[in-house]
A and B are shown apart, each in its own frame.
Chain A
Amino acid sequence: MKRSITLAAVLAAVLGSGSAWATQPPSAKMLSLNCASCHGYEGVSVGPATPSIAGMSEEYFIMTMLDYKDGRRPATVMDRIAAGYTEQEIEIMASYFASLQYRPAPQPFDEVKARRGAEVHEQSCSRCHSENATVAEDDSMILAGQWKPYLAFSIEDFNAHDRAQPRRMRRGMVELSDEDVEALLHFYASQQHHERFMGQ
């Protein structure tokens, strides 16, 4: 796919037919604006379910889009959308969203559950999702401050074995009770202090 586009560009240039812009990919801004109407202005979703994608690591963005594109990750709509973009376009979008500031979602949570969730996180998740899951460098989603329904859907998919996960994560997840999972969601939802995410 990528190759054929490059070839077309070369041919167009060689043959002098069509102007150069016709085969240039759209700009980062142009491409990323297509995502904004669901994932929010500058990648910060106002919810209630679509995740924020600002500040996502480039690597994780690319992996996610390619998984959707190739049908490796369960989706309602993203598989149909990802199929519309070339790898080159996905890379352009990835570097653009990585440069944007992540902002945690303002959402209600239960204090008691959140405190219990902090323990669950510390015990079962923190080795990979470091710094309370506030950072993109782990090459996973930033979980802290993410919309709760989205996190819940993701966990359902992991537990239904629809969605691939590292073996270590699967081992950890099967040990969690429904209450643990619920507590975890409230812990991530409770992470609403902007300054914890600055510089992401």
Chain B
Amino acid sequence: MATLNRRNFLKLVGAAGMAAGLPLAAHGGSHGNAAKARVVVVGGGSGGATAARYVKKLDPAIEVTLIEPNPTYHTCYFSNLVIGGLLPLDRIRHGYDGLRRYGVNVVHDMIVGIDPVSRKVRGESGRDFEYDRLVLSPGIDFKWNAIEGYDEAASRIMPHAWKAGDQTVLLRKQLEAMPDGGVMVLVAPANPFRCPPGPYERASLIANYFKGHKPRSKLLVIDTKDSFSKQGLFQQTWDMYYPGTLEWVRAADTNGGIRRVDTGTMTLFGEFHRFKADMANVIPPQMAGRIAIDSGLADDSGWCPVNRRTFESTIADDVHIIGDAAMATTMPKSGYSASSQAKVAALAVVDILNGREPGTPSYANTCYSFGAPEHAFSVTGVYRLEEGVIEQVAGGVSPLDVPQEFRRREVAYAHSWYNNLTHEMFG
């Protein structure tokens, strides 16, 4: 016999309430009669903004609050184009007024605690936010010192630029300041991490900048892996455009990549190798955003286990976790994935709050990478739920053997991808 836990209890009460045409949860005070239920979304990035918008759109009677510390959001996608000098920073900046216009209550605060029993989250400001359903999309945080010597202070000298904004600007400024003939090292992390093709797109666009502006400079990519996403397509690009400028060093050649850095002498150490650099971009190992870790919502892997049908946490009731923080294997950690998961979760949240069984999910991912300003390629995936697992049923990467016109078209479609994806998130 199953015990009647709080979740089952709530479900029973909820179902009975719906059948009688009553609001699911009674709220006193400021919520009045208008608010049917309260959804709080933590994190106003790719996953959170999409989830907030769609919960509100799918059921306007639900009160939706989005909590995000920053007044603007810089997308990581296209930040490599900013770093490569192809776009200005404001091209990847988005504000929250669009979401406000759609009726989302946007609050700038940093959540420091989650109490799933009394169903509230606490802001750094001291304010509490009560919810019936919580959606968490806090992105990633870094495992400082997993590479010895690489901590937050070190990231101001050797930027990661794996969260966009100040770090993007810092890396760009260093590139501009580096003398011609300099050596730059880019450290690529082991799987799993945010945006698997990201380090190689960045390497390509930095090499493109060197070629045009600092032709005697070199970029060394020291990898923690022996293979990587879209590898054939990237290596084809590198042979076409950047021979002599960009060199990729697989993990086997350094016994596992970089283990230690010294920002004082700008040296990066493998087990037996040392690299002296004029500039370094260190992309460290990652984990779910700190709030998820501190609230006990992640497992030993550092990522959050979820029910893939609804993205409900398997650890806490009434909490959905989406985006990079969630374990949504086999989907890659991407902005498009985060948006797709946000839609699955938003539909599930609205179904649950209306006493309906969540429907069958469908997931998708499409990401473009630039190898050069007029040369892009894509990876795509269509996914469905099979026995609790997200299985890829179709997709793959752009073909290798195509005319240049194909790559140019993918540049045009990459820009459309960016515009439509962010328009959907932020209006």
Contacts and interface: CB of A to CB of B under 8 A. Distances in A.
B362 A37 contact: no
Contacts of B380: 77, 80-81
A84 B385 CA distance: 13
A30 B394 contact: no
Interface in B351-367: 357-364, 366
B49 to A, nearest CB: 12
A74 to B, nearest CB: 9
Given A46-B419, A47-B419, A84-B382, A41 B424 contact: yes
Given A31-B362, A80-B394, A41 B347 contact: no
Nearest to A85: B382
B420 A77 contact: no
A159 to B, nearest CB: 13
A76 B363 contact: no
B79 interface: no
B56 interface: no
Interface string B145-183: 000000000000000000000000000000000000000
B359 A36 contact: no
B394 A76 contact: no
Contacts of A45: 416, 420
Contacts of A77: 366, 378, 380, 398, 410, 413
B87 to A, nearest CB: 14
B423 A41 contact: yes
Interface string B360-380: 111110100000000000101
Interface residues of B, number: 42
A48 B412 contact: yes
A172 interface: no
A88 B194 CA distance: 34
A36 B206 CA distance: 31
A87 B385 CA distance: 18
B415 interface: yes
A162 to B, nearest CB: 11
Contacts of B395: 80-81, 83-84
A86 B347 CA distance: 21
B359 A30 contact: yes
Contacts, number: 121
Interface string A7-36: 000000000000001101111011101101
B2 interface: no
B413 A25 contact: no
Nearest to A27: B359
Contacts of B357: 21
A129 interface: no
Contacts of A80: 380, 394-396
Nearest to A41: B424
Contact of B360 (A30, A36, A37, A84): A30
A149 interface: yes
B331 to A, nearest CB: 12
B336 interface: yes
Nearest to A18: B387
Interface string B332-347: 0000100110011001
B366 A38 contact: yes
B361 A26 contact: yes
B359 A33 contact: no
Given A21-B357, A77-B413, A81-B382, A50 B420 contact: yes
Interface of B: 54, 58, 336, 339-340, 343-344, 347, 357-364, 366, 378, 380-383, 385, 393-396, 398, 405-406, 409-410, 412-413, 415-417, 419-421, 423-424
13 contacts: A21-B357, A24-B359, A27-B347, A29-B347, A30-B344, A30-B347, A37-B340, A41-B420, A50-B417, A77-B380, A80-B380, A81-B364, A84-B364
Which 10 A-B pairs have CB atoms at the shortest separation, nearest pair first?
Answer: A84-B382, A84-B394, A50-B416, A49-B412, A83-B394, A34-B364, A26-B362, A33-B343, A26-B360, A37-B421
Interface of A: 21-22, 24-27, 29-31, 33-34, 36-41, 45-50, 76-77, 80-85, 89, 147, 149, 153, 156
Given A37-B417, A37-B424, 5 more contacts: A34-B364, A37-B364, A47-B416, A80-B396, A85-B394
